[in-house]
Amino acid sequence: MRWSPSPFARHVSMSLGVAMILCTLSGCTTYRIIRYRQPDARNQGMFPKRVVHKADAPFQFARASTLRTDLDTVTVRAPDGKRISFQKYMADYAVLAFVVIRRDTIVYEAYRDGFTRSTVHSSFSMAKSVLSALVGIAVAEGAIKSLDQPVSDYLADLRGKPAFEGVTIRHLLEMKSGLRYTKTGNGWWSDFRSDDAHMYYSSNLRKSVAGAHRELPPGSKWAYKDTDAILLGLVLANATGKTVAAYTEEKLWRRIGTERDATWSLDHRDGNENVASGFNATAEDFARFGRLFLHGGSALQQYGNR
């Protein structure tokens, strides 16, 4: 006997189909979650991007005449507690690039799955480190007057919303906003509805964070969440009057001797940067960013005029 769907079932299926087509065309959050599900550095092409241009005269790492290979067989502990070779760890846990630099000299590098030293790939949550550096620069230059200012001083659309009363820039930096945030890891339906998924795949970050709800008093408890970082990015853009990408390029990326252009992933075309997870660069340029901290910020001075 052949099954024939009821008129109601056909209507629901058609409606879902039309909704998915419309979402595909508009790049909506729901479509992205269903289509891509688990975030992957190799599928960052789903997001529009804003370019962060490289330095005019890049700082060049030296390169050892013979790169080390013994690190491939070093035994490391996997998340499940088992000890495996580092080479196997890279394959099993999708590590796409790994570079070891000692005294400004590359002594080991490994790439896989088609990635090379020139491949631009996602930093995921390391983007938050780039963001915090930019906020520090903005404070030092007076674009942000104080870390203890209310967030609503810079985001007028949040004024009068109970969830954001008393939330300061410092609370966002310390991830103590008190805003409710749900994570993945509790089943497919919970994952689909989670803030983790919606913040990563959001097609309208400003709207997504504006809908957050208060869970605890600001400053009372630390909780890792992308909401705080995204709010901080919106504050930074409003405080400086520039896109986060433009500010990154002017104040940071061109001044640390980067070799290649980077990008910030956007929620939609000409939209807002996803500062919680959407900074994209090469492995060596990420190392140049790390070098800035290794030298206590002096790299900004050393390469600022080149």
pLDDT digits (tens, 9 = 90+) for 131-185: 999 999 999 999 999 999 999 999 999 999 999 999 999 999 999 999 998 886 7
List, for residues 54-82, the tens digit of each pLDDT value.
999 999 999 999 999 889 889 999 999 99
230, 209 in Cβ contact below 8 A?
Answer: yes
List, for residues 225-247, the tens digit of each pLDDT value.
999 999 999 999 999 999 999 99
DSSP for 198-216 reads: HHHH-S-HHHHHHT--B-S
List, for residues 85-116, the tens digit of each pLDDT value.
999 999 999 899 999 999 999 999 999 999 99
Whether the per-residue pLDDT at 216 is higher than 60: the answer is: yes
Instruction: Map residue 221 onto helix, strand or coil.
Output: coil
**Mean residue pLDDT across the chain:** 86
**How many C-beta atoms lie closer than 10 Å to residue 258's C-beta?**
25
- Model-level pTM? 0.84
Closest alpha carbon to 197 in 211, 181, 219: 181
Q: What angle do CA 113, 225, 246 make, to 5 degrees?
A: 70
